[in-house]
Structures are given as C-alpha cells and as structure tokens.
Amino acid sequence: MEDNYDAEAARAIIEAENVNVTEKNPLGELFKILSGLAVTLVCVYTFIFLASGVVLQTLREDKRTNLEEYLTKSHKQIPIEISAKDRKRIERVKNKILTADTDFPKTSKLEINVIKNKDLNAFCYPNGNIDITEPLFKELKTDEELTFIIAHEMGHYKHKDHLMHLRRNISNAATVILFSVFNTNSNINTVASSGFELSELSFSRQDETNADKYAINMMNKIYGNAEAGIRVMEILKEKNKFNIEFLSTHPDLDRRIENIRKMTK
C-alpha cells in the first residue's frame, strides 16, 4: 500500500514538472534575437539619418558652405606646380562642363589641382574643389579623357554625396554607440558595426555609379559620345589589378565599363 502511494506521488511530481517545461528551439530563439536586433538598429539609424537631413536642410546656404569648407580643411593636400599649358587645359575642360551644365551649384569655387600621389585617382572635396593625382593626370592624353574624370568628380559635388556621406557616418556612429550602451555583448556590437561598414561600401559604390552617369551625360552633351570614358576605365583596370567589388568603395571596373557602353550614344 505504501509502495503504491510512493509511486503515484512520484508520478504526480514528474507530470507537474513536465507541465512547466517548455521545449525551445535554439535556432528559433537566435532568429528572434537577431530579428529584434535588426529592427532596432534600422529604426534608430533611420531616425538619426532623417533628423540629420532636416538639420542640414534648415542650414542657410552660407552656413552649409562654411560646413563644406570646414570638412575640406582636414583633407586638403598641397598641389604641385604644373605647366601653363596644362593649367589652360584644365580650365578649358572645366568651362566646357559648366557650359553644358548651367545648373551646377554656384557654391563651389571649383578649383582643380594636380597633387603628388603614387595612385591613379581623383578626389572631390566637400567644398567642390577637385584634386587629380599626378600619375592619373599623365595618363589622360586627350581633353575627352580629362573631361570624364573632372565631370565624374563634379557629379559627386552636384549630387551632394559629401553631405550624404556625413549623414550616414553620423547615423552609423550614433547607432553603434547607443546600441553599445544598452548591449554588453561585444560580439553582437562587432557584428552590428561590421554591417554598417559594409552598407556604407554599398552606398559608396552607388555614388560612384551616379557620378559615372553624370560624366557620361556631360560627355554626350559636349562631344556627342562618351567613348573616352571607356578608355579611362580601361586605363584604371590595367593599373589596378586588385578589385573586389564587395569590399570596395567603387564598383567593379568591368561593370563600370559595361554601364558606360550602355549609356554612350
């Protein structure tokens, strides 16, 4: 009688414990955590990005110009001396583009210089000034080729890529900092930060594509075709062998060449 009682009591205890046990799928729980993380990051990022846009939009033109000059100071490089012939060539090409695009922002002095640098590259600063590295400038044998490079950089300024880049950087940094305050898991913080870095690369590649489109549009207006843009891309492809699009701020050069061919008259 006592044995039966003990057995029934034990069974009742086990059944009661089983009622309180919930089977959980580890992968399902991980998915919920990551989904919640993604939604939170997107909401915070979007709010900060939109807020920064409102702030920049409310700035008077002179204040925005001052901001552009301030952002340029920390990056500006010393130009090298070039011949009077080369200086006239640069000014001639710049004026052709300004004639073709009468809506180009008047807030930039649009100073174009050549700088000492081993890479083949060109830069548009936040204030609209442009630097072309000496090796690249030497490769640009024709006005058409130089037009493509200068117009591409002018496209960055006209599209206000520098301000969009500033907004994305502010949003990225603020989101990661806020998330770090409320989350002590360093691995998740690292994943979030890496995700923002990869997304910034993607935005940068799109900026480059849009600048290419602007340059092709200008060349079609000025010369009736944009074949020189393809030649410039082929020069860059020859000199820059290592180019993985996923990890680059610029699209794959073969893809850029194909896109230019499609846009060329």
Tens place of pLDDT per residue across the chain (265 aa): 445 556 666 565 555 555 554 556 777 776 776 677 677 777 877 777 777 777 767 778 788 788 788 878 877 788 999 999 999 999 999 999 999 999 999 888 899 999 998 888 898 998 999 999 999 999 999 999 999 999 999 999 999 888 877 777 777 776 667 666 656 555 555 555 555 454 544 456 788 889 999 999 999 999 999 999 999 999 888 876 444 333 344 567 788 888 888 877 6
Residue 8, pLDDT score: 65
Residue 232, pLDDT score: 93
Phi, psi of 250 (to 5 degrees): -115, 145
* Dist CA 181 CA 204 (whole Å): 28
**Which residue, among 156, 168, 91, 87, has the nearest Cα to 127 in the 3D structure?**
156
Residue 196, pLDDT score: 46
Residue 140, pLDDT score: 95
What 3-state DSSP class applies to 24? coil
pTM for this prediction: 0.70
What 229-233 contacts at long range (C-beta under 8 Å, 24+ apart), as own/partner pairs, is: 229/148, 229/260, 229/264, 230/257, 230/260, 230/261, 230/264, 231/145, 232/140, 232/145, 232/148, 232/149, 233/257, 233/260
CA dihedral sign, ordered 45, 47, 48, 51: positive
